[in-house]
């Protein structure tokens, strides 16, 4: 869905409500409080009341957006839908400044919409278990972009450099999905716990670089250590997939989010994983999937 598609499908608040009602209730509206089906549409006195229903049983008043990411919003749904399309389509992610300009929002609203949509991506992603050839790696985000010296990056000194950086750990199934998240640390214990949680270790083979924190995993699963000193990729022995994901993640971060605090990193990482994991969906399908999953 590009912006024109969204505007044609959803010219006004009514069309947005109508579509959400169809997705949620399939023609039979239900009271979200008592689950009674004896509900009536309220007369639409003002714009803010479009799509309001009342329950004959518990007398509650509600909208189709009840309990969803759109609950209680005063922002027109069309703007939400446009924001969703923009975020899902953005190859390099969106900044709230860009969203503010594109959708004529104020800065606070743009930031709020972005944060809510990203949080929605996190909450609607069921736990993923990777299986097959798994590449695992770790990185740091935040701070200023610079040529990373990986060893220093992994063990930032307590003082000075490194303190404004966020540790991110990730694993990707070749040809499949990625799981990446902000880590409390990158010690052997942190990495061990992460891999055990997101990878089916019995059915998988792990590829990592020579960082010693991965050593403990060698007793748990097939583990290939890739030597980055070597010039050539040795057949299947490489970590190019996860490194490619890191570069996507960082390019977008440093392009768009340089003014954000590190506290924002978890949601941003989740958004990039979500988009990566849906990359095989045809154009537009991701948008409809997102809308279906708000309920
Ligand atoms: Zn009710």
CATH, residue 240: 3.30.420
In a domain, 186, yes or no: yes
Q: Does 139 map to a domain? A: yes
33 alpha carbon – ligand 1 mean position (Å): 5
In a domain, 183, yes or no: yes
* Number of domains, the chain: 1
Residue 201 lies in a domain: yes
User: What is the pLDDT confidence band of residue 1, given thresholds at 50, 70 and 90?
Assistant: confident
pLDDT at 17: 96
Q: Which of 44-48, 200-204, 251-255 has the lowest mean pLDDT?
A: 44-48
Q: What is the mean pLDDT of residues 256-268?
A: 70
Is pLDDT of 46 > 80? no
Instruction: Tell me: pLDDT of 131 over 70.
Output: yes
Of 114-118, 143-147, 203-207, the one with minimum mean pLDDT is 143-147
**Residue 86 belongs to some domain of the structure:** no
Q: Which of 135, 170, 152 is closest to 266 using CA atoms?
A: 170
Residues with C-beta atoms within 5 A of ion ligand 1: 31, 33-34, 36, 55, 57-58, 60
103 in any annotated domain = no
11-28 b/e (C-beta count within 10 Å ≥ 16 → b): eebeebbebbbeebeeee
Asked if residue 195 belongs to a domain, the reply is yes
- Ligand 1 mean position, distance from CA 61 (Å): 8
Query: How far, in Å, is the centroid of ligand 1 from the Cα of 12?
Result: 28
Q: Which residue range is the domain that position 147 belongs to?
A: 133-259
**CA 68 – ligand 1 centroid, Å:** 17
- Residue 41's φ and ψ, nearest 5 degrees, are -75, 135
pTM, 2 dp:
0.84
Residues contacting 189, CB < 8 A, separation 6+? none
For residue 260, pLDDT beyond 70: no
Would you say residue 101 lies in a domain? no
Q: If you measure from the C-alpha of residue 37 to the centroid of ligand 1, how many angstroms do you get, rounded to a whole number?
A: 8
């Amino acid at each position: 869905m590009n912006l024109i598609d969204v505007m044609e499908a959803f010219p006004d608040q009514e069309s947005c409500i109508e579509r959400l009602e169809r997705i949620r209730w399939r023609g039979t509206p239900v009271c979200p409080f008592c689950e009674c089906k004896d509900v009536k549409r309220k007369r639409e006195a003002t714009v803010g009341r479009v799509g309001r229903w009342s329950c004959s049983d518990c007398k509650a008043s509600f909208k189709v957006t009840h309990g969803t990411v759109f609950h209680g919003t005063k922002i027109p749904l069309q703007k939400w839908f446009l924001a969703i399309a923009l975020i899902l389509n953005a190859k390099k992610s969106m900044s709230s400044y860009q969203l503010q300009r594109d959708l004529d929002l104020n800065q606070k609203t743009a930031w709020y919409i972005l944060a809510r949509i990203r949080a929605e991506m996190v909450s609607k992603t069921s736990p993923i278990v990777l299986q097959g050839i798994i590449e695992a790696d770790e990185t740091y985000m935040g701070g200023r972009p610079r040529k990373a010296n990986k060893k220093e990056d992994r063990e930032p000194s307590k003082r000075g450099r490194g303190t404004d950086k966020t540790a991110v750990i990730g694993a990707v199934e070749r040809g499949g999905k990625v799981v990446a998240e902000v880590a409390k640390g990158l010690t052997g214990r942190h990495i061990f716990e992460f891999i055990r949680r997101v990878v089916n270790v019995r059915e998988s083979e792990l590829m990592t670089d020579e960082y010693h924190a991965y050593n403990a995993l060698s007793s748990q699963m097939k583990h290939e250590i890739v030597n980055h000193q070597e010039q050539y990729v040795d057949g299947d022995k490489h970590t190019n997939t996860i490194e490619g994901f890191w570069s996507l993640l960082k390019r977008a971060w440093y392009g768009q989010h340089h003014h954000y605090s590190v506290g924002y990193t978890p949601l941003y990482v989740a958004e990039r994983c979500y988009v990566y994991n849906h990359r095989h969906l045809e154009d537009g399908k991701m948008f409809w999937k997102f809308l279906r999953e708000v309920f």
